[in-house]
Structure 1
């Protein structure tokens, strides 16, 4: 029976403020196999961890992430917990270097930022010694391709939110090893074809027991979930035959 890896989506975001150090630490404590996080740049070109292009949804501030300096963005209060702050990518890496979780680093880019990936983000993976357990992903496939050219030894996966025609050919062109797909966009035989062609498949965001069981039965390499504790329990019961 295949062992599907469980990635905590934006950390343990089902119970803690997403993409915060608390969410990451709680994901590690829960036993997640991996941690997924989103990286983009501040106005002063510091990589920080936040999903949206703007700070509106998760903080009391307003405006684009790229319009704030690091000092300004870290003064914002998180809506779910005013004691939390938007962490820097380096802060996370300094913590995770002492742990063993796989890392899924989603590259969030503005059109002017693609050239900054190899200069400001990718070197940090080597600095903190995490390249061998990192997967790079992005909806910006050109940015992902450029990152793969810079770090060909680091695993990469294309993020997609809808069905594709001839996905194997496209993924080979991108020179990536996997595909991270919206859970409702791929049928089982399509997933099996991708795996038979050597690609790792990981659906997002898998938050119900039925969906977890489905993708475990498919033999997916991994799933992304807001509830790693639930996914671990479902996987353990499946392995035990319950």
Structure 2
């Protein structure tokens, strides 16, 4: 049976990455996905974009200003998301005020430059070191709460595995072979390909990963036709912006 992961707490109908969104999505998804990034002092906050405002390609979804990595946590957590009355939460607050199973995407440490995808052996150690302080703080906040940790960045996946063998992992990818490689290297439990990557995946490779026990969750699904296509392509789950798509997953 294909399951639904609520992307940012069903960002199509809720103010994304907020406590309210996670609570609203909890009864309609197997997991609720949230993004975590670092403030100036390294505090993990639940947010997606580089900036609180609309500079440098960010969407301007809060009434705050500046790059999150340069702001004190109190400045970030005072920012109101999409005029909803919901503010940007710290990861600690989100965990304290919700109980639903989470998919935590490790989005960005304080480092201004991060690299997605696979890395050469020579680059892996440096990437892990850049991520390690932030990942350690995230894992400390999670304590014994069961989550699925995901990331586009090999450095983040390596940092999780350096700290813990017990945390469930899922590489995010825009090419299925990249996801397979990272899943094998870091003993991942799932692979999260884009819907286009899933459609283009070699059927034998996909079948091999499913047989190996890797859950395949496709992102980001926004329509019933995309949900149907993901299920027909072999996905175990869809990372979706809207609730209600599960009716199309088990035709």
TM band (smaller chain): 0.7 to 0.9
Q: Deviations over 1:80-136 (max 9, x none)?
A: 225121011111111223xxx33110012236451213431101212xx312xx111
Structure 1, 168-177 or 8-17: larger mean CA deviation: 168-177
> What is the rounded CA distance, in whole Å, between the counterparts of 1:116 and 1:65 in structure 2?
17
> What is the rounded CA distance, in whole Å, between the counterparts of 2:68 and 2:110 in structure 1?
14
**What displacement does 1:32 show?**
1.3
Q: Quick check: 2:39–2:110 contact (8 Å CA) kept in 1?
A: no
Q: Quick check: 2:42–2:110 contact (8 Å CA) kept in 1?
A: no
Distance 1:68 1:163, change over 3 A: same
TM-score by length of 1: 0.84
Structure-1 residue corresponding to 2:92: 90
Q: Quick check: 1:11–1:27 contact (8 Å CA) kept in 2?
A: yes
- Residue 198, structure 1, aligned to residue 195, structure 2: no
Q: Quick check: 1:109–1:140 contact (8 Å CA) kept in 2?
A: no
CA RMSD of aligned residues (A): 2.1
**What displacement does 1:171 show?**
2.4
Distance 1:124 1:170, change over 3 A: closer
Structure-1 residue corresponding to 2:150: 137
TM-score by length of 2: 0.81
Aligned residue runs from structure 1 range 99-178, under 5 A: 101-110=100-109, 112=111, 114-126=131-143, 129-131=144-146, 134-164=147-177, 168-178=180-190
1:52 to 49, 53, 76: 49
**What displacement does 1:218 show?**
4.0
Q: Quick check: 1:61–1:76 contact (8 Å CA) kept in 2?
A: yes
Unpaired runs of 5+ in structure 1?
A: none
Q: Deviations over 1:48-84 (max 9, x none)?
A: 1001121122112332111111111122232x22512
> What is the rounded CA distance, in whole Å, between the counterparts of 2:176 and 2:7 in structure 1?
22
Count of matched residue positions in the alignment of Structure 1 and Structure 2? 224
Q: Quick check: 2:38–2:110 contact (8 Å CA) kept in 1?
A: no
Q: Deviations over 1:178-219 (max 9, x none)?
A: 211111112361432321343221110011111211222344
What secondary structure is seen at the aligned counterpart in 1 of 2:149? strand
1:40 to 37, 56, 59: 37
Distance 1:111 1:77, change over 3 A: closer
